Amino acid sequence: MEEEPLPDVRPAAPAEAEPSEMALRLAEALIFASAEPVPMRALGQILPEGEEVEVVLAALARRYAGRGVELVSVAGGMQFRTAPDLGPSLRKVIQQPRRLPRVAMETLAIIAYHQPMTRPEIEALRGTNLSQETLDVLLEAGLIAPQGRKEAPGRPTLWGTTSHFLAAFGLASLSELPRREDLLASPPTPT
């Protein structure tokens, strides 16, 4: 198996003296294991006598150049960091969906069944005021959208559900919503 097959790719730094392998290893280990960026002074303390901190760091940085991890100088000292280009591949987004507040869910359901409808119509149906906040939540979630205006005094906005609403609830079309009559199959009989 080939190991490091190309000595000519890694240019042996010309003029500058190569640091000892032990100095390189110590600097690498210390920066790796430290919880905070390692100040130059701390590196100087741990390195063997006669090693130049800058030279060691330069050699270490060269070793890590182009790799998955890079040596970077940040406020306070030296630190290893993941190569920036790998971030997107390593990022793991964990979805923690929230529950839609009850009022918002109710309003959404009413709009779904009675669209297009105006805000006063929603309020009349729910028998209570509809807060702007609730409307905003549904708008931001892309579940409802304005669908023109009603030809009535004040020309109020008509609201309806979006195609994202259908996708979110796994519906091919609005006609897949259970019929109201089926939902209310056994209405509470008023005695």
Contacting positions for its own copies (CB under 8 A): 1-3, 5-6, 9, 16, 18, 24-30, 32-34, 42, 45-46, 62, 66-69, 80, 82-83, 86, 89-90, 92-94
Backbone angles phi, psi at 88, to 5 degrees: -60, -35
User: In whole angstroms, what is the distance from residue 135 CA to residue 188 CA?
Assistant: 30
* Binding region for other proteins (CB under 8 A): 29-30, 32-36, 79-84, 87, 90-100, 102-103, 105-106, 108-110, 112-113, 125-129, 141, 143, 167-171, 177-178, 180-181, 183-184, 187-188, 190
Nearest approach in angstroms of CB 167 to other proteins is 6
The nearer residue to its own copies, 42 or 100, going by C-beta atoms, is: 42
Sheet containing 157-161: give its strands across. Answer: 117-118, 157-161, 144-149
In the beta sheet, which residues pair with residue 77? 74
Q: How many CA atoms lie within 13 A of 31 on its CB side?
A: 30
Q: Which is nearer to other proteins, 79 or 157 (CB)?
A: 79
| Smallest distance, its own copies to C-beta of residue 78, A | 13
Is residue 68 a contact partner of residue 82, using CB atoms and an 8 Å limit?
Answer: yes
Backbone region of residue 134 per phi and psi (left: phi > 0; alpha: psi in -120 to 50; beta: other values): alpha
Q: Minimum Å distance from CB 50 to other proteins?
A: 22
CB of 37 to its own copies, least distance (A): 14
